Amino acid sequence: MSMHRRAFLRNGGLAIAGLSWPALVRAAVAERGPLTLRERLERDLDFVPRRRWSPERAHPRRLQAARLFDRITIHHTGANPNYHVERNSVAYDLQAIQAGHLRRNYGDIGYHFVVDYTGCVWEGRSLDYEGAHVSHHNDGNIGVMLLGNFERQQPSDRQLAGMGVLVAALQADRRIARRRVYGHRDLGQSLCPGRHLYPHVVRLRA
């Protein structure tokens, strides 16, 4: 486990060493070498590749090839609170979400990444394709979803830390400006990502 990941998980993404959480994330990313996005995620996060949870293949004919990603949107699951920490339970959750999206003809799970209650990051839809997570705003938009209903529950410290490291890595890899990190409610008529999570999304733009 890397120094940066240990620091984030130990401190729950909160301010340490005199730096704010967003500044600490950006500093950690800035000092990394020329790693690929996958290498960064595997090094600094508890990362589960898609093949480890999804027996279902994507349906490319229903998907739109991605162009330049220039923004990130944060979501929550909504519905019931989610405190699952066992990998099998989280995989079941993701398979259920994916099945629902396939029934709606999305071609795959709509989100590119999912963060569970332990802060583990799960790979969703390939970044080769546009997501399906904000109506009329999917072009160039990476979808990140945190499992839970954050109108009714608080995100865990580790969940926030995982989100912070993931977003910083995506910003560095795709050259996405800090001001281009949104909550779903910023782009549409929605309470998503919930009143207890949205302030932390705002902090990512600081």
Please, what are the domains in the chain?
3-204 (3.40.80.10)
Token couple for 127: 């970044």
pLDDT value for 23: 65
103, 138, 143: which is closest to 126 by C-alpha? Answer: 143
For residue 35, the model assigns a pLDDT of: 82
Q: How far is CA 66 from the centre of its chain?
A: 17
State the amino acid at position 50 in one-letter form: R
pLDDT at 6: 45
Q: What is the pLDDT of residue 30?
A: 62
pLDDT given at position 173: 93
Residue 36 backbone dihedrals phi, psi, to 5 degrees? -75, 165
| Distance of alpha carbon 27 from the chain centroid | 19
Whether the link from the prior residue into 155 is cis, omega within 30° of 0, is: no
Q: What is the pLDDT of residue 7?
A: 46
The CA distance from 99 to 126, in Å, is 16
pTM over 0.95: no
Whole-angstrom CA distances from 75 to 5, 29, 43, 148, 150 are 23, 23, 24, 10, 10
- The tens-digit pLDDT sequence of the chain (206 residues) is 444 454 444 444 433 334 565 565 666 566 556 789 999 999 999 999 999 999 999 999 999 999 899 999 999 999 999 999 999 999 999 999 999 999 999 999 999 999 999 999 999 999 999 999 999 999 999 999 999 999 999 999 999 999 999 999 999 999 999 999 999 999 999 999 999 999 999 999 88
Helices first, then strands: H and E counts in the chain: 7, 6
Angle at 156 between CA 31 and CA 56, to 5 degrees: 85
Residue-level pLDDT at 26? 60
CB–CB of 134/13 below 8 Å? Answer: no
CA–CA distances in Å: residue 137 to residues 84, 106, 117, 141, 176: 30, 15, 27, 7, 16
* DSSP β-ladder status, 121-123 and 113-115: antiparallel
Rounded Cα–Cα distance for residues 194 and 204 (Å): 16
